[in-house]
Amino acid sequence: MSDAVKRELQGRVCVMSAPVYASDEEECVLESTAADLGSHTHARRLQAPITELSVIGPAETHTQQVNRGERVEEKLQVFLRVRPLTDAERQRGEDQGCVCVQSEDTLLLKAPKDSHSMKSAERGVSQSVHKFTFTRVFGEAASQQEVYDQVMKEMVRDVLHGENRLLYTYGVTNSGKTYTIQGSAGEAGLLPRALVSVFTALAGQLYPRADLKPILKQEVRQLSDAEVRIEEDRRHALLREEEVCRQRGGVNASVSWDSGISGLSAITRLEDSDGVCVDIDGVGLGDVTVDKMLQFGIWVSFYEIYNEFVYDLLEPPMSLHTQKRNTLRLSDDKHGNVYVKDLTWVNVRSADEAWRVLTVGRSNQSFASTHLNHNSSRSHSVFTVRVLHIQPEGGATHISELCVCDLAGSERCKDQQNGERMKEANNINTSLLTLGRCISAMRHNQTYRQRLAQVVPFRDSKLTRVLQSFFSGLGRACMMVNINSCSSSYDETLHALKFSAIATQLVHGPASKNRVAYILSLLRDDSAHADHTLLEEEEEESDEEEDVSMFQPEALLKAINVLKQEVLRQREEKDELELKIREQVCTEMMEVINRMQLDFSETMESERELMENRCENKINNLKSSLKKYYSQQLEERDEQIRELSAALREKEGGSEAPIFPSLVECDGPRRSQRIASSHKRSSQHEHADMEQNKAELARVKAELEQCRAELDLKQTELTLKTLDLHTLVLKLQSGERACCHYTEGEKLRTALNTADSTLIKQDQMLMDLHSTLQLLKAQLHRKDETLADLKRPFTPATPVTPGTPSSCSRRGCGVAVAMVENQPPGKRAFLRLFTPSRSSKMRAKADTTTPYARILRSRQPSPPPSPALTRRGRF
């Protein structure tokens, strides 16, 4: 570990014992893996704070063999190789020390400052430093030979012992995958070295004829002479093609080695200007021993998976103009193993021939220049070496296989400007993602054996289908992860490493029958019961292809029933799984919601406290500023008062005594205090007054209550007395009526009425007479005037003296009055009729004086009416 890294780790890194994955939305593979780790990991991830370092690697590091009961399982080997930076990359400033090989099996990744990971780390959602553990880490200085020794040698040995092995490279584009597999002008890669190793180990034991050919996945077919000739022709054609291409300079033949086997040329013809040879001692397999009784036939094939289509790289294009190629189909053999149908297999007799065949295939492979790699593989290429272990004298032949798969590099689609490149990148990423899902599901099934097994989605992509058998127990896989230390591709590199870290946790399980194989075996068993001989024929015929029409209808029906039951069982399993998932999701959601609720209430509480503190601070500030303001105001006022007092004193002629001593005195109490004390005094007075008024009010209220009680008493008495009076009046009236009834009152009343009517008549007559008299008086007056006019010329005018009758302006009237006064008494009674006032007065006097009149008057409630009305009302 470098000092800088050590310091960093000591300062701020917390290493966790279990793999913990950063939550990164882009990293789908990782997310699915993290979910697969189970609830305990998930819960821990939720609770534990995110540290700045994640440790990702096999749970049991340094242990390649895992004991599970009696069974010993071997872990998947995952190697890592770091490509050195080129000069151009260094000049671009790509070297920021983000990749650091810590030890033989440990690598440290530190996020460069402009990377997405660093931004995520700064946001606190992921780590900035990641530690990965692999089976072996090869640094920049590691040579091809070193890598071969560690990775490939063992595999070649196993293949020669009859086992199946797969080596596949994985990494971002331009990370050195192809370089590792095939090598360059300077150094041969793993594949040519392996080829040399194989042929070196099998020297002298090669099967000389090509009449035994591998077919399907694990079958061998005896070829006829004609077919052998065809195979030979094909081999020669390919070698010729390579020759032609090499001469044209079109073949990417950049490797040369000294095969040194089977007495062939010391230096192969696939040489370039460097002419580097493969050291035979270096590729030698040491003490590997193969059965000396056996002979070995070597067949190779080369195909690519491009945009989810399988193309045979050893087949010439159908048309030279369009370069259109046939697409191949994938098929299952009777054991359910996937193979590429109609794939070209070429029998090779030396490593040189194998390499030349591979070189021809490379010329057909899809390469393109991308912005990262001028010669980037746009497809997954699979080169397979099949070794036929041929028993002498026609014994059963066994097949082993070495499969080397150079996967296309993962890359960002958005980096591709060209539409075709983008489509390729998309397909590459999709198939790599499916590979990741398969590995993830396998690891889940291996980790949680008691639980329901997950379906491994091998069938979701062509790549995973062809690799399926190596993960299903038919062979063993080994992974080579390639990375570069460019800071610009850090995020993609991190993603690739996280994906491969999942693979490190896989173990190789025993061979397991897959579903198709199971169904086929059912059919075969059933057919065997039905017609054993027919089956044998069918088996022979089914070498090329499984045809359902070959089976008995009863067997097919049985298989359908089995399949139905299988579907039902799986449906039940899925329902169960769904239920569990739902429950789990609900529980987790509830946990999250509860946590959110808690967080929210905590936040609210803290917010409340914060707000309270703020408000209190504000109030205090306001108080102090107000206090300050008012004290300042008071001081200013006091100052003004002092100034005014001084000015007044000066104006009054400098009198000794101050006018407002209390105000002027500086040592005396402040004006505000005085005002406050005077206010206090006045308020005391007011208070006392108020108390007094209250007492007075209470007293008045009491008196009022007493008066009210007395009044009520008096009112009661008055009511009683009124009632008594009323009773008395009633009694009096009844008494009066009784009195009138038993005396002569009735008669008197009648007489009185008669008299009254007479009187009314007489009054009427008097009125008539009175008007007649007035007329007569007027006539008399006129006659008097006429007479006076007649007399006036004969009598001189005499002055009128007051008091004399002659002095009266109305002389006629005076004469009349005198005449009336001078008349005799008998005539005066008649004249009295014209003066009713005196007679009515007298009558009224007479009325009031009699007892009867008094009784009548007491019965009248209203004041006395006019004489005429009075008389009428009485009756």
Ligand X SMILES: Nc1ncnc2c1ncn2[C@@H]1O[C@H](COP(=O)(O)OP(=O)(O)OP(=O)(O)O)[C@@H](O)[C@H]1O
Instruction: Kindly tell me the burial class for residue 264, based on how many C-beta atoms sit within 10 Å of its own C-beta (0-12, 13-18, 19 or more).
Output: middle
Question: Is the alpha carbon torsion for 258, 262, 263, 265 positive or negative?
Answer: negative
Does residue 296 belong to the site contacting ligand X (CB under 6 A)? no
To which residue do tokens 């009349």 refer?
816
Asked whether the beta carbons of 133 and 105 are under 8 A apart, the reply is yes
Closest distance of CB 410 from ligand X, Å = 8
- Region near ligand X per CB under 6 A, out of 48-56, 175-183, 304-312, 464-472: 175-183
Q: Return the bridge partners of 795, or none.
A: none
Cβ nearer to ligand X, comparing 24 with 406: 406
Nearest to ligand X of 79, 296 (CB atom): 79
Distance CA 536, CA 528 (A): 9
Phi, psi (deg, nearest 5) at residue 213 = -120, 135
DSSP 338: E
Shortest Å, Cβ 373 to ligand X: 4
User: Should residue 408 be labelled a site residue for ligand X when binding is judged by CB under 6 A?
Assistant: yes
Can you tell me the distance from the alpha carbon of 402 to that of 151, in angstroms, rounded to the nearest whole number? 13
**Closest CB to ligand X among residues 173, 344:** 173
User: Between residue 599 and residue 628, which ones bind ligand X under the rule CB under 6 A?
Assistant: none
Is 178 an interacting residue with respect to ligand X (CB under 6 A)?
yes
Whichever of 381 and 469 has its CB closer to ligand X, that residue is 381
Whether 347 contacts 231, CB under 8 Å = yes
Residue 500 engages ligand X in binding (rule: CB under 6 A): no
Least distance (Å) between residue 402 CB and ligand X: 20
Identity of the residue, 397 or 493, whose beta carbon is nearer to ligand X in the bound complex: 493
Name the residue nearer to ligand X (CB basis): 184 or 429.
184
Which pairs from 507-511 meet CB under 8 Å and 24+ separation?
Answer: 507/66, 507/73, 507/74, 507/75, 507/76, 507/446, 508/73, 508/74, 508/75, 508/76, 508/473, 508/476, 508/477, 509/73, 509/446, 509/473, 510/71, 510/473, 511/472, 511/473, 511/474
For ligand X, the closer CB: 378 or 508: 378
**409 contributes a contact to ligand X by CB under 6 A:** yes
If the CB atoms of residues 147 and 294 are measured against ligand X, the closer one turns out to be 147
Least distance in angstroms from the C-beta of 369 to ligand X: 10
Residues 139 and 786: their CA atoms lie apart, in Å, by: 176
In the beta sheet, which residues pair with residue 583? none
Minimum gap (Å) between residue 33 Cβ and ligand X: 23
With CB under 6 A as the rule, give the number of residues binding ligand X. 18
**Looking at beta carbons only, is 120 or 484 nearer to ligand X?**
484
Q: Give the shortest CB-383-to-ligand X separation in angstroms.
A: 14
- Closest approach, Cβ 428 to ligand X, in A, equals 9
Helix (H, G, I), strand (E, B) or coil at 206: strand
DSSP 455: P
Q: How far is residue 458's CA from residue 727's CA, in Å, rounded to a whole number?
A: 127
**Per CB under 6 A, does 669 bind ligand X?**
no
Is residue 416 at the binding interface for ligand X, with CB under 6 A as the rule? no
Near ligand X by CB under 6 A, which window of 173-181, 265-273, 285-293, 850-858?
173-181
As measured in angstroms, the least distance from the Cβ of 87 to ligand X is 11
Helix, strand, or coil here: 576? Answer: helix
Residue 103: both structure tokens together: 């030890």
Min separation Cβ 454 and ligand X, Å: 30
Q: Per CB under 6 A, which of residues 358..377 are in contact with ligand X?
A: 373, 375-377
Token output for 52: 């700045």
Identify the residue among 18, 68, 71, 84 touching ligand X (CB under 6 A): 84
Cβ 156 vs Cβ 147: under 8 Å: no
Q: Choose one: 31-39, 176-184, 303-311, 554-562; the region binding ligand X (CB under 6 A).
A: 176-184
Phi-psi region of 188 (alpha: psi -120 to 50; beta: other; left: phi over 0): beta
**Nearer Cβ to ligand X (303/339):** 303
Q: What DSSP element (H or E) covers 339?
A: strand 338-340
Residue from 134, 170, 179, 345 in contact with ligand X (CB under 6 A) = 179
Query: Applying CB under 6 A, which of residues 126, 127, 175, 350 lies at the interface with ligand X?
Result: 175
Per rule CB under 6 A, is residue 177 in the interface with ligand X? yes
**Which two structure tokens, joined as six digits, stand for 39?**
């609830």
Stretch in the footprint of ligand X (CB under 6 A) among 160-168, 171-179, 462-470, 850-858: 171-179
For residue 496, state whether it binds ligand X (rule: CB under 6 A). Answer: no
Contact indicator for 399, 312 with CB cutoff of 8 Å: no
Report in angstroms how near the CB of residue 344 gets to ligand X at its nearest: 23
Instruction: Please name which of 248, 834, 328, 342 lies closest in space to residue 545, comparing C-alpha atoms.
Output: 342
Considering the complex, state which of residue 61 and residue 373 has its C-beta at the smaller distance from ligand X.
373
**Residue in 58, 176, 214, 297 binding ligand X, rule: CB under 6 A:** 176
Residue 421 to residue 417: CA distance in whole angstroms = 7
Please state the φ and ψ torsions of residue 379, each to the nearest 5 degrees.
-145, 165
Q: How far is the CB of 381 from ligand X (least distance, A)?
A: 10
Contact 500/479 with Cβ under 8 angstroms? yes
Distance CA 166, CA 382 (A): 10
Residue with tokens 């009648």: 750
Instruction: For residue 184, state whether it binds ligand X (rule: CB under 6 A).
Output: yes
Smaller CB separation from ligand X, 275 or 865: 275
CB of 377 to ligand X, least distance (A): 4
Coil, helix or strand at residue 418? coil
Neighbour tally for 8: CB within 10 Å: 18
Interface contacts to ligand X, rule CB under 6 A: 83-84, 171, 173-179, 184, 373, 375-377, 408-409, 482
